[in-house]
Amino acid sequence: MSRLRAGDSILSRKPKEPTRLVRIPVSLIPQVKKFVAQGGVGCPFYESAVPGGFPSSIQDENTQTVNIISYLIPHPEKTVLIKVPDDSFEHEGFFRDDILVSEREETPQDGDLVICNANGNIFLNRLDLSAGRGNLGFEICAVVRFRIHTLYGDSFFN
């Protein structure tokens, strides 16, 4: 894995990539701008909780539209996606091939799951600042904010 740098973006285009002129009806320009600004499409979100094991009616009038990309990645310029390579954090609910949505930050909090770099070796670690160690022995590259896990064993990369 290459070193994470400030300014890296998952939304940036390739250097010297050609562009193409696209014609958009003037009436649709506000919708296209909104689509681009939000990072994609919205999906219906039902605020009613769905209980396990018992039927419950979902009220259509309580729906709102949520853009899952904007929710998971509020700061694309600071966000990196990292695949969990093994089962070493399975005891905490992180499984092989899960995708970690991580954000580069200056000040992670005690107890955060962090992506670390020690002499070019990238690894996950639960940050323990309570021990009062001044030198952690590794560089903190990013803080894990979300985990994406498939329910049927399919990998995102198959």
CATH label of the domain that carries residue 142:
2.10.109.10
- Digits of tens for pLDDT over the chain (158 positions)? 344 444 444 445 677 888 888 888 999 888 888 777 766 777 777 777 777 776 666 665 566 777 788 788 888 889 999 988 888 889 988 888 899 999 997 678 888 999 999 998 888 988 887 765 556 788 889 999 999 988 876 666 66
Domain extent for 106: 73-148
Total number of domains constituting the chain: 1
Q: Which residues contact 156 (CB under 8 A, 6 or more apart)?
A: 83, 97, 99, 148, 150
In this prediction, residue 22 carries a pLDDT of: 82
40-49 pLDDT tens trace: 777 777 777 7
Within a domain: 119 = yes
Strand locations in the chain (E): 43-46, 63-66, 79-83, 99-103, 113-118, 121-126, 139-148
From the list 67, 60, 62, 63, the residue with the least C-alpha distance to 42 is 67
In this prediction, residue 3 carries a pLDDT of: 43
